[in-house]
Structure 1
């Protein structure tokens, strides 16, 4: 029996490790910049994504084929800022030698962005051109937008910020989004179908419409809003599970298998909709390969997981690759043994 082990991740901590063995790929993670013991409320109010921008500028100076930013979701216990990517713009611009008119303001955290304008931002066109020649992508965990009831500020209430602070952050992030939209409105984005240059649009209505689009962009809240700033620079936002699976060649490896066994710590609604399982299950369905799940704990019923094309689910008590022993005494070797036992129950 040959077992092909494929480490996967969905944007939670561990995504960078899952991609660590891939050549020509530089992985940057917001979670790696979270200092132990950081107060979540302080991070949400004063934290800056500047360090992430500095890392990105450094990565662009390497020979790596792909630069991947693994960005998580709030609360600030894992993402040490909620500044909408304003600090990232500062770090990236300074790393690339692009002037920043008001770096101090952009680097003081989300609430300090109240009243910010396009004149305070670095030249987004220059930053966009610097990124255009490279394969830079954002891998995000959840499709949350930056603004609105389900946005970044709302997700921090009430566990991290009180209602008043959350509303203040929402207004400040709204001002940043409007400033970015205004800065982008007069830049050349592409060419029209007749081959002419796209006409710059600077009307107030066009700026407002673009700001609404940016604020509602799926995945824009990832990395404390850093994903939104990167999207404004032309970087595609992709669900982490899909992107990691693509880089790992999951479709081809599944097609070559007789059985797919997926190990997850917890099988619940999040895993069934936004995790690794639906991505792998879709590839297996296309290749007509059966899928079995080994879950530490399963909170999903047969109807939910069978709709994904999963043939069976077995609970193991196994929690994560960081656990030497699970709650029922299950070791990682036991998990490997269980995979083999499950495989032997199928006529392969």
Structure 2
């Protein structure tokens, strides 16, 4: 049997590449006769750049930028080898939640300044198109820090995190417009939510970044004020209402003020990895992520894999740290099984061992010994 193993990252514990290798090792323990095809995927969040770099036409350029806590860190951007006119940036490698080891986390104080620095680095290389993968970030600042790095004023307020945005009386974007003149931006994400509201950057995603309920409400008010001060774009559209604005702590909102277009993050990865063809060739598809929840079912990588597999008539099994959606929800998307590595809801002491053991158990169910059939 040909098995495609294509998980997303297990946030905070395993990258998508580590998860894929771990599942493959566990599966092989129970079903060494199966042919395993391994692919690390992303929906624009963690692992986006690694997946894009699998395309032979993309090279990685090491750079240094400021992290969400304003510490200088090494990272990389992707560039097309032929002309370096298209650049790829992964927000999770610069302002990712995993980059903050201290607890409690304070997402309301962190800044997206480093994203703007990465854009300027791409510009220095001659890039005319910049594709930014959104997801897995640890802040909620509406992209204010990124805009400050590109020249927006007043920088002293725009770089202090989401709560400081409530003190703004004006925002001057003219220096930003000059800095990125002639450049085109695309947002690579499958988290299609607006900036504000129950599904937005602060209320919908603040808790997973470390913000308590009171802080979420304060951030919501700050983002609302920020949106009011910035106003609509020159084309009359309100970026706060565009789906994708709330992705990555509102970084999508900031990019939309640069007239960015929203595109499926998974589509970029699919093209780079030839994933649709590999799903078509598989007998069984294994995917997964840290928490298989309602967000997973609404456009994230697992949902995209399941959708493609369903269209091709291929069964999908999900292996996750936690499973928080019921059989009715996941079976409607063509998923035939969903299994959790942690039954008590806690992160296992050895996440790799737990995931590998889970893969071994699941393999015994879905891949019986060919000599016994």
**Partner residue of 1:263?**
287
Higher strand residue share: 2
Partner of 2:112: 49
CA distance in 2, matches of 1:12, 1:342: 35
Contact 2:306–2:316 at 8 Å: present in 1 too?
no
Structure 1 residue aligned with 2:91, among 13, 19, 29?
29
Please say if 1:214 is aligned against 2:239.
yes
Shift of 1:326: 1.1
Cα 1:336–1:32 change in 2 (3 A) is farther
Partner of 1:153, secondary structure, is coil
Q: Which residue of 2 aligns with 1:88?
A: 146
- In structure 2, what is the Cα distance between the partners aligned to 1:337 and 1:231? 44
Choose which of 127, 135, 160 in structure 1 pairs with 2:211.
160
Q: Which consecutive unaligned segments of at least 5 residues does structure 1 have?
A: 94-99, 190-205
Runs of 4+ in 1 over 6 A off after TM superposition: 63-66, 335-340, 342-345
**Backbone CA RMSD of aligned residues:** 3.9
1:222-237 equivalence runs, <5 A: 222-237=247-262
Contact kept? 1:263, 1:294, Cα under 8 Å: yes
Count of residues paired in the alignment: 299
The reply to whether residue 324 of structure 1 matches residue 352 of structure 2 is yes
Larger radius of gyration, structure 1 or 2?
A: 1
Post-superposition offset of 1:233: 0.8
TM-score by length of 2: 0.65
What residue is the counterpart of 2:133 in the other structure? 70
Match of 1:341 in 2: 367
What residue in structure 2 maps to residue 60 of structure 1? 123
Answer yes or no: is the 8 Å Cα contact 2:42–2:265 preserved in 1.
yes
Q: 1:1-348 maps to which residues of 2 (within 5 A)?
A: 3-22=36-55, 23-24=57-58, 25=78, 26-34=88-96, 35-38=99-102, 42-44=106-108, 46-62=109-125, 67-72=130-135, 78-79=137-138, 81-93=139-151, 100-114=152-166, 116=168, 120-127=172-179, 129-132=181-184, 136-140=185-189, 142-155=191-204, 156=206, 160-161=211-212, 163=214, 165-181=215-231, 184-185=233-234, 210=237, 213-255=238-280, 257-265=281-289, 267-287=292-312, 289-296=313-320, 298=323, 300-310=325-335, 312-313=336-337, 315=339, 317=341, 323-326=351-354, 330=357, 334=360, 341=367
Query: Secondary structure of 2:298's match?
Result: helix
Gaps of 5+ in 2: 3-34, 59-77, 79-87
Look up the SS of the partner of 1:261 in the other structure: strand
